[in-house]
C-alpha cells in the first residue's frame, strides 16, 4: 500500500502570494501527513503553469500529477482541492477523478473550504476574530464569484456573519453576485465612514492587487472612494492563516474517513 495526497490549486502568477498563501497550506498538509503519505501539488490553470515554467518553476497539471502518481505505484490517493467553493473547477476535478478511479485501488476527493453550514460558521468565526468590529468601519469581503450555482456560498457566508452578530460585514463577488454595486448601496445605508476591503480568496494575487486594490477607476477601492468612503485594503489571502489550514486538514481527514468506510468513488 502506498498513499498520496494531491493538493490541487488554481495557482497564481504573483510569486509572493504563492509563497505566502499556497505553499504554507501545502506545508501544513506535509507536516500532518508525511511520511505516512506522499504529499504533492498540482495547479489547474494552464496560463499560470506556463508563466511559472518560464520562471523555472515546474508544477504539474492535475492530470500530469495523476499520471506520475499512478506510475510511481501509489495505490491510495486522496485529491484535496484548495478551492473555496464547489463550483466549476471542483466539478472538473471530480470528473477527472472519476475518469482516473480505475487506476488506483482507492481514489478519494476532498471537499472545498466552504462546503457545509459548519464550514461557513467556522470560517465566519475565524474571520470575525481576524477582522473585529471597528466603530465607523464596515468590512467588505471580496469573493471571486462564479456563474455556477455554488456562488450562493458568498451571500450565505454573509448570513453566517449575521448569525454571529456581525452587522458590519458585507460580501460581494468580483465575477458573481452580489455585485460591488449591490454592496456599495448597502454600505451607504449602513452609514459607515470607512470600508476595509478583504479578499475572500485563498490567494491575494492578481484579483486582489488589481480588481480590489488597483488604481484603475473600476477597482473596488476606486469605486468606493468615489462614493465617499475611506477605503483600506487588506492584501493577504486566506492561505496565510493557520486556522484556515485546519479547515482544509479536517476536510482531508473527513474524506479519508469516508474512503475507509467504502469510499466516495
Strand order in the sheet with 76-81: 37-43, 3-9, 76-81, 106-109
Query: E-assigned strands of 51-136?
Result: 76-81, 106-109
CB 84 within 8 A of CB 111: no
Pairwise CA distance, residues 39 & 134, whole Å: 40
Q: Residue 227: enclosing H or E segment and its boundaries?
A: none
CB 114 within 8 A of CB 123: yes
What is the full DSSP assignment across 152-179?
A: GHHHHHHHHHHHTT-TTEEEEETTSSS-
Q: Residue 129: enclosing H or E segment and its boundaries?
A: helix 117-130
Going by C-alpha positions, the residue among 83, 81, 1, 5 that lies closest to residue 38 is: 5
Pairwise CA distance, residues 69 & 78, whole Å: 11
Pairwise CA distance, residues 180 & 22, whole Å: 26
Return the number of other C-beta atoms located less than 10 Å from residue 136's C-beta. 10
Going by C-alpha positions, the residue among 19, 55, 61, 15 that lies closest to residue 41 is: 61
The reply to whether 144 belongs to the active site is yes
Pairwise CA distance, residues 63 & 84, whole Å: 21
Options 76, 83, 144, 207, the catalytic residue: 144
* Residue 98: all three cell numbers together: 472519476
Q: Which residues are catalytic?
A: 144
Amino acid at each position: 500500500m502506498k498513499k498520496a495526497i494531491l493538493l490541487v490549486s488554481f495557482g497564481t502568477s504573483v510569486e509572493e502570494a504563492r509563497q505566502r498563501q499556497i505553499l504554507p497550506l501545502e506545508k501544513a498538509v506535509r507536516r500532518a501527513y508525511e511520511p505516512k503519505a506522499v504529499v504533492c501539488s498540482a495547479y489547474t490553470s494552464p496560463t499560470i503553469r506556463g508563466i511559472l515554467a518560464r520562471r523555472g518553476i515546474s508544477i504539474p497539471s492535475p492530470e500530469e500529477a495523476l499520471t506520475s502518481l499512478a506510475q510511481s505505484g501509489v495505490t491510495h490517493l486522496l485529491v484535496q482541492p484548495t478551492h473555496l467553493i464547489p463550483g466549476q473547477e471542483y466539478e472538473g476535478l471530480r470528473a477527472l477523478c472519476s475518469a482516473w478511479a480505475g487506476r488506483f485501488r482507492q481514489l478519494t476527493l476532498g471537499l472545498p473550504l466552504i462546503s457545509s453550514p459548519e464550514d461557513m460558521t467556522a470560517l465566519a468565526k475565524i474571520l470575525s476574530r481576524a477582522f473585529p468590529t471597528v466603530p465607523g468601519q464596515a468590512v467588505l469581503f471580496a469573493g471571486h464569484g462564479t456563474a455556477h450555482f455554488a456562488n450562493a456560498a458568498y451571500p450565505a457566508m454573509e448570513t453566517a456573519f449575521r448569525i454571529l452578530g456581525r452587522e458590519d460585514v458585507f460580501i460581494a463577488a468580483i465575477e458573481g453576485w452580489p455585485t460591488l454595486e449591490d454592496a456599495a448601496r448597502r454600505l451607504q445605508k449602513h452609514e459607515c465612514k470607512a470600508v476595509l476591503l478583504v479578499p475572500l480568496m485563498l490567494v491575494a494575487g492578481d484579483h486582489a492587487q488589481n480588481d480590489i486594490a488597483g488604481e484603475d477607476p473600476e477597482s473596488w477601492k476606486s469605486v468606493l472612494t468615489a462614493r465617499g468612503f475611506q477605503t483600506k485594503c487588506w492584501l493577504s489571502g486566506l492561505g496565510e492563516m493557520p486556522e484556515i489550514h485546519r479547515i482544509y486538514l479536517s476536510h482531508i481527514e473527513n474524506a479519508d474517513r469516508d474512503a475507509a468506510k467504502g469510499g466516495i468513488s
